[in-house]
């Protein structure tokens, strides 16, 4: 496959790439991830199968495009609260709520899809090498949540906290996947209940005893990732 970075992304090429992505997401929602083929995606997009493979070598690459698109939507949806608020908990609450807002159209097929993403060796995993560009961009968003706030963070935690917040957001997504409440109200309730607790932990991170505990937590995460 020709790498996207090497493509001459003319307006026509961008339109074709977007059409293929849109077609894939429509079919994933209506038929499920496993049942959808690249041939069907190409037919829905109105392009040849070979043309579809020119832009995306597999369904997995289309999911990576979905990740990137979802992050862009999440960033845009978070902008209003990040531009308006300085309070850390308000910024975090708004950003996590925006995450669920932009994921809402995909809730129907999320349980089927995320069972693949949950496999540690899958390229669809948020922790995989293939997912690293979107993962790093997401961590950068939570870094903005923190750095643009008035939070006073204990020594050593500020550098690691954005990643810990991203991990917390992955926990929220996992809860959302299995949330059958109307409008996913339980997920929003989880966010509203958990964020003040996170805020208190961050504020208390300057206490030496808790600071040591947080170091232990980050060390454990490093061990698990390695």
pLDDT single digits (tens) 72-91: 999 999 999 999 999 999 99
Domain positions in the chain are 1-57, 60-225
Q: CA 226, CA 222: separation in Å to the nearest integer?
A: 6
Higher-scoring residue by pLDDT: 218, 41: 41
pLDDT of residue 126: 87
Predicted TM-score (pTM) of this structure: 0.85
Closest C-alpha to 131, from 223, 70, 63: 63
DSSP label of 57: S
Q: CA 135, CA 140: separation in Å to the nearest integer?
A: 9
Closest C-alpha to 24, from 51, 50, 60, 76: 60
pLDDT single digits (tens) 103-116: 998 888 787 777 77
* Contact between 186 and 179 (Cβ < 8 Å): yes
Confidence of residue 127 (pLDDT cuts 50, 70, 90): confident
- Which of 23-27, 141-145, 175-179, 200-204 is modeled with the greatest confidence? 141-145
Asked if the domains at 1-57 and 60-225 fall in one CATH topology, the answer is: no
CATH class of 60-225: mainly alpha
**Structural domain 1-57, CATH architecture:** Orthogonal Bundle (1.10)
């Amino acid at each position: 496959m020709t790498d996207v970075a090497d493509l001459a992304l003319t307006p026509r090429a961008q339109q074709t790439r977007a059409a293929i992505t849109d077609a894939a997401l429509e079919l994933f929602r209506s038929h499920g991830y496993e049942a959808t083929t690249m041939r069907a995606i190409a037919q829905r997009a109105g392009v040849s199968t070979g043309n579809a493979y020119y832009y995306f070598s597999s369904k997995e690459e289309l999911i990576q495009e979905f990740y990137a698109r979802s992050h862009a939507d999440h960033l845009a949806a978070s902008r209003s609260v990040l531009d308006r608020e300085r309070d850390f908990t308000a910024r975090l609450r708004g950003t996590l709520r925006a995450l669920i807002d932009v994921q809402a159209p995909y809730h129907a097929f999320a349980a089927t899809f995320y069972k693949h993403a949950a496999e540690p060796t899958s390229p669809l995993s948020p922790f995989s090498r293939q997912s690293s560009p979107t993962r790093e961009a997401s961590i950068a968003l939570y870094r903005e949540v923190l750095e643009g706030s008035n939070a006073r963070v204990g020594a050593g935690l500020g550098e690691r906290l954005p990643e810990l917040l991203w991990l917390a957001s992955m926990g929220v997504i996992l809860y959302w996947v299995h949330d059958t409440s109307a409008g996913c109200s339980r997920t929003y309730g989880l966010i509203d209940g958990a964020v003040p607790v996170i805020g208190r932990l961050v504020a208390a991170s300057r206490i030496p005893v808790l600071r040591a505990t947080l170091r232990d937590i980050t060390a454990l995460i490093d061990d698990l990732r390695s």
